[in-house]
Amino acid sequence: MSSIGLIAAAMTITSGPEAIARPQWWPDSVRDTTVETGVIKMQVYRAGDEGVAVVIMQDMHDYFDPAPKWEGDIQEQWIERGSRHRNFVATLAKQHRVFVPIRRGYGATEDPGVGYDVATYAEDVLAMLSKEGVERAVFIGRNPAQNDIYWIAEHHPERMIAMALFEPTPWLPFDFDNEDAFAFASGWWRGARDMGATDERIDELTLSRFSGAIPHFLSEEGAQIDVPLLYLSSPPSFEGAWMWANLFAFEDEDADCSEVTSNYPCSVFGDADRVDRLRTYFGSHPHNALAASTRERLEATFSDMTVVPYPFGDEFPSDIWAYYGEVVEPFLARFRQRQE
């Protein structure tokens, strides 16, 4: 049966006061719930009822959304891709109490029209945990989720048991008033259709999330954070790089555009003059040096930091989330033992 067929063949489960339809590709242990934080109603996927609390911060996507804004083969591919993340959640739930809070603007989380930034998402998550009676947790995040976790570590370290970062290539902001940089970044990010039905909506979420997202430890000498940190390195070509500059370099190499079109990537890479300006912009931007210093600054800031090299070169394994599970398990075991 195709993935689309699996969506149609849904079964009903009970989560809180309401019954919801759950597709058959959904792990049995994962529940869809809503938590009233005192500010918003937050959609929270959870699994497991005992053990150390683990919070998986949202990266680029809502992996539990079957992406109704996509259709056909693309939707099937998305369901398959998301299944690896969902299985990661289910595996952790065998020994932990797992929470996956969904950001404002995504899924069924209440959307008041403001508050898509790093600090607000972090505060929403902490408020949700307080409502659930969870004072401290291990926070896990991949790629841009690092910024939300850094914010909690810098402002509320007392709420953290530990933190684990997967492939934390620095997502330092680009200059949003630079028309060329915005055209590139927004064009690239609009591919994430689960974020919104329109380009304008995706742009709004992107601008809010990445503007000003520079961790304090990158500029404050002598800062110390007493939170254990697991750092799974990025692939070699991304480690220590500024993510936006790296994404541009990859797109610049791969784009095959002979003229400007209305659709990305040729809306950007079909304009030779714009591409030249972007090469200069990303190549000379001071965030390249700031990104290169991130690993060193982390090691100076976090007294208990475990670094795991990325073992696949620039390749990705068939199931990257299964690999994340293998890496994070011995790290989490440290805190299970302390709890016992």
Q: Which domains does the chain have, with CATH numbers?
A: 30-173+212-240+287-339 (3.40.50.1820)
State the DSSP H helix or E strand holding residue 42, giving kind and residue range, or none if neither. strand 41-47
Q: Which pLDDT value is given to residue 6? A: 32
pLDDT, tens only, 124-167: 999 999 999 999 999 999 999 999 999 999 999 999 999 999 99
Q: Which two tokens stand for residue 226?
A: 């007493």
Asked whether the predicted pLDDT for residue 78 surpasses 80, the reply is: no
State the DSSP H helix or E strand holding residue 280, giving kind and residue range, or none if neither. helix 272-284
In the chain, what's the furthest Cα-to-Cα distance?
A: 63
Q: Is 112 exposed, middle or buried (0-12, 13-18, 19+ CB in 10 A)?
A: exposed
Highest mean pLDDT: which range of 14-23, 78-87, 183-192, 295-304: 295-304
Show Cβ contacts of residue 84 under 8 Å, excluding neighbours closer than 6 positions. Answer: 319, 320, 321, 322
pLDDT, tens only, 30-72: 999 999 999 999 999 999 999 999 999 998 888 877 555 556 6
pLDDT, tens only, 235-244: 999 999 999 9
